[in-house]
Structure 1
Amino acid sequence: MDISPPSTAHRRLAQLARQRFVDGLCAGLPALDKKLLDFLTELMGRTGTVRDMQLRRDAWMGYQTRHKAWVELMVRGWRGGLAQQSAPGRTAAMPMSDGLALVGDDEVENRILASRMALTVAEQVGAPFDAVRQRTQHLEGRELASSDILRPEAQCLRLVEQWLEAGLKRDDLQLVLDPLQRELANLALAQYQALLKLYDEQGVAVPNDLRARVRRSTATGVSRAGALGPESGGAGLAAHSAAQGLPPPHVTPFPHTVAAAAGSGSPLVRARQRAQGVLMQLRRLLTQPVVAYDMVQPQPASAALVHALSAERVEADLYYSGMATLVEDYSPQAVVHVTNVVRERAAEFKKKASTAGEKAIIEVVALMFQSILSEDRIPPAVRVWFARLQVPVLRVALAEPEFFSNLTHPARQLIDRMGSCVLGFDASAISGTALEAEIRRIVQVIEQYPETGKRVFELVHGEFEKFLARFLTERQATSRIVSVAQQVEQRETLAIQYTIELRALLKDMPVRDEIRDFLFKTWAEVLAVSAVRDGPQHADTAAYKRAAADLVWAASAKPHRAERAKVIQQLPALLQCLRQGLALIGVTGAQQDAQIKLLTDTLADAFLSKTASISQEHIDAMVKRLANLEDFISDETLGDMPLSADNIELLLGIDASSIHVIADNGAPVQEDMVAWAQQLPLGVWFTLDHNGASAQVQYVWHSQRKQLHLFAAMDGSSYLVQLKRLGAYLQAGLLTAQEEESLTLRATRDALTKIDANPERLFE
């Protein structure tokens, strides 16, 4: 886009546009404020741990006290940003500088947090903002400054600064980040659309030349990693990090921030930002009116192109109908052949295309598949089948612009999941496996499915996830470990739940402390182990539940002779049941004798006690409640479980020598790392550094509560990791993904690199 010297009228119009934009933002602040207050009020009412509920209440009280001051400061801050643009050519408050400058930690944190918010806002307002930016630059004859109030990151930075200036906490801002950035995006979107209407009324328009836009990154001195420019919230500057959270490169959300180079926030968040940056770059490349993607609205494909795509589907039907007599070639030479087919097929499609937009989309998809097919870590057999997805993906890309901007588009998710699961296998290891057969089946379904949109990808993606859950644990050794691990979690969950219920049952009963401790710390474990081994309604489990009630009654005061006689009569059977239960959890020998002696001494004291006894009605109610306890217990607010190889071996009666148990050890771990550990996708390959030895492992299973996670190596060894320890390993870099980013994201990046170097290829 050519930028000519601005006239006074043009500058005035640009400043008027900013004035209206800021006025609109400020006018929407009361509604935004109410949304946050409602959110915090609703959040405070949710159940959770004591710590979480206290944090939510503190956040609500803090916002109640200071929200009016924050709104006033926001108005002042945004209008202050407007004042900075009042003088022509005035330098921004946050200048883009090639030099380095030291900044304070608080300022760094503010900018990092603002950049994250700006990324979400920019994603929602992308096309309207881009149009406003271009027209404003056309009026003023210069690029928008990095601190221009029209930019999402400038708005977000001032929001963060004023939040802290009002005395609100940064942690509380993190708590309301989702609704805040969502409402801010809606507010900003409405203002950008209003500015476009103003510019239309004033006849402000600029030519849209995709070729010039593609070259712009070179002309303005922005590298490919930062080709998005400041309007992306800085995401493009960090665009080569790992999708699984590898250590970030030394880049910053804002180019002039030096101290932020070390990064902040969870690797998962940073990885998402970088991935979004790449997709935003691609979307902006394809959202120009000249390529028929104006305002990301899809346009019908040309008739000749539709006919060519339909012919490919007919060819696929003929191909599969004759497969019974064909011998598939999965050699490296076959991969080279299908790569050439992808290139030739794209060239033919581009000849049929009638618009520049169709040609650009065809080229981008072809480049993505060339990148996928060149990934030699994917076995040739799988790459051959991936090649056949070019046409179905192209149909989706032509009809659904979100394919280029949505990381969770079903077509992307499917290819990424299949790719991530096969990267750890060589050709011989995957050939003839159920995984190869499933990938082949999925491709056949997609090619022959009557619908051409994302619906088919949604269906087969769901089927593949179900298949994966079975396939990853189908080996006998792995299946056995999974069964054991499930029992471990079930046992620990039940032990916690039995303890909670016993505490509730004994809350108002006059029960001695020795008996309480025994029931809470020991007998709850007996009940849990018996329920896991034999079932909650088994005769032994029922007997242990009855023994708990009998022990409570026997240890209470016995002022009447008949009651004392009854205790003496029942005591041998009760003690025998207690010994049997203790043996079940490995308490034997002298340790068991000491425990029984403590209980019998307590029972003897009950004979001499003159306090009130527990009524038979209370005991009967306790027996009834314990008998059907599983109908009442829930999975809420459960704590962490103990885990060790000894637990597995002693409690479940198996040899645990083949399992590397990595249990929680109390090491400090950030909460966002624990959250990241809970989001790891099954099938992904990692490098695990455990006790100085490095192993290539695949993530194959997690328990229902996600407290236990299993990784399997090709040599048959397995690693059972507890949740917080898994977060600690991720935090320390002891567990790292073998893939720096997802397959389609890397393919997108490769495609953009080729387009940067040779923009003309989009239209040839």
Structure 2
Amino acid sequence: MKKVARLESVRKGTPDATPVALPRPLEKVQQRTTELLARLLAGMLDGADDRLFDLAESAAEGERDRYFDAMRELRVKRAGLETGFRQALHNSFRALAVDHSGGVLGNHDIDIDSLALVNEDEVETGVAIDNMARKARGGCDEQLRIFNHRLEYLFEGRHEFGERRNPLEPRQVAECFRLCVDKLDLDIRSALIVLKLFERMVLAEIGLVVSEANQCLIDAGILPEIKAPPIRPVRGPAGRAYAPAAAHGPAGPATEGEAATEQNQMFGLLQELLSTLRPTGGAPHFAASAEAGHSAAAMPPVIPASLQGPGNIAVMHNNVPVVNGVPLAPGTQVAPVDSTDLVHLLNRLQRLESSLEAREQAAVPEEIDVRAELASLLETEHGSDSVHALEQADDDVINLVSMLFDFILDDQGLATEIKALIGRLQIPLLKVAISDKGFFSNDEHPARQLLNLLARAGAQWSPVQGTDDELYLSIEEAVFRILNDYDDDAALFGELLREFGDFFQRQVQHTERVEARIREVEEGRARAEAARAAVAAVLDQRLAGRALPGLAVRLLRQGWQQVLYLTCLREGEAGEAWARDVRVVDAVIWSVLPHREHEELKKLETLSPKLLNSLRQGLERISFDALEMREMLAGLQALHQQLLQGLDTAREVVAPEPAPAEAPAVAVAEAELLPEDHPQVRALRGMRTGQWVEFTEDGQAQRCRLAANLRHGSKLVFINRRGIKVCEHSAMTLAVALQQGSAKLVEDGALFDRALEAVIGDLRKRQGASQR
């Protein structure tokens, strides 16, 4: 598993100090809330099979197995999961009695000697926990803050309780469950599915649990009169305190307030992570800020050279304009650029992007340096006498969107031409994010959904199809409609999402219909090949080396072989009809062997009419030639009569005729084969239809969709987007091709979501590295 350089403390267990008893009122809270949460978890597990099955039914074909795997694992390890969850909650409460503890997410100081590298799965799980906790907290924020205040009262103000100390905080509860999920045998995607299920069925009820906790403390006489939490200074992304702003107008509905809180929390989290891009600067910079009459401690650190912007673009930090981490000298002329002004400037850059010259160069992806473009535009219009200052939040949005598009342009799942088109959406999406900071937390935003859909469609396009292909032209049309028509009305994204979604759905449905027909043909062909092989194996085994009359051999090889074939096709080798028809073969062979014993002759006399009747019925079932059938059966009857009279019959030795082995779909040198139990070979045997794979031959790349997986990976049939069969592989040959680089699996999932996860993971890695 790939490692990343995010750091965390290895010591995550209970504190070294022996915990003392909890205050008696808190003991009751622990018992009541643990009981409630355990009951909610039990309810989740009771309904997990149905929920996961429903999710599997509506999921993409390649994801269904993950839901079924999660369903099995939860069912088998349910008892341990429930016990572990109760114990984790118990430990989280008990940790409160130790002065230096901090619950599951304790506030331990970082010790350089105790740091360890963590893998990418943990980063991804951490992002999921962040999102779960943020959403759950939005619905019970006030109740939690009241509970925190009562905890501080119980502990006589020795601790400040919050998200990292309160055991009933959604983040703490989610971490308790994650500790249990880590012990399950699940891959990262399945683990995230289980965490999502926990969010929907347990964390969604955390408000009820916190209310019960508050009621327990009220019953114990702990601040029973308090109706609202005390107001504290709000802390910004870098830990600075701000006084609460005055409300403007009447408060909106509770749901809108909760949504706004959630969006602000998400953007605040991203801003906090972005602070790692501005490491501490040197003393001269802070001296300059002191000369300017501002506190050096309040100034932002210096931005690294690789991230520094142009000299005529500043960022407002605590009302002080800062260029690349250095406060401007006193007397410098500063022109503020607010969000509205910035959007107007970006509109002009967008129009340049949609010009004819830009369209002609659309085949080459190009990174856009937004700050440099803005600086050039401002200098052209206003000269170089003044410095233009962006708001800190807008500067952070520019950073985030730039990082997102860096990921998109590096994505290996898209062809270069598609990346060039999607890359042109950087400025329009930057405008969306500046106007709506909730863009980063709202996965239902039409602009995000449109980008994901364009990327999913683009992942199915190959350069060999050419830029005059209908799919490419539709993606290009959507991109340039945004560039030409989008100013500030995000409704355009919803309109394009519907239009392009309808077009792409028709394309997908057509491909699926063609795929179904090809799969049916290939499966029929595979069944036919398997039936022929089974019939040949039965006859070869019984006829090999035997001296039998030529008539009997012809009857079995030319006539009864077809009966066996039809039976195997219809009912398979496990059916009673197959066993009955194979017994007829054995009976025919026995009936033409020399018999001398009286008992054998009596048996032949009884068997002969029954055998002839069975042969007639079987041959008539396959519409065998009537004249030839009568000749064969009459000849067999004559042979039986001769044997019953004690006469020898003319015989011939029949050599075995084994069925020809099926050649592999793609020849692979013996030295290149992987072990049969190689993980990639095993995984490819279970590859689901619909998976896209890019094959490269003679420098030409072509994207194909798996239309059929036959006999557990023995034959994988691939078609292109138009439904034309392109190639066949086996799990082994495809695994070899993947190892050699002549094939690669195409990821066609949600591009924006993957980019955002990658950016958050990268920022967390930087944050961990900065703490060393």
**TM-score, normalising length: structure 1:** 0.46
Larger Rg: 2
Q: Greater share of helix residues, 1 or 2?
A: 1
Q: Greater share of strand residues, 1 or 2?
A: 2
**TM-score, normalising length: structure 2:** 0.46
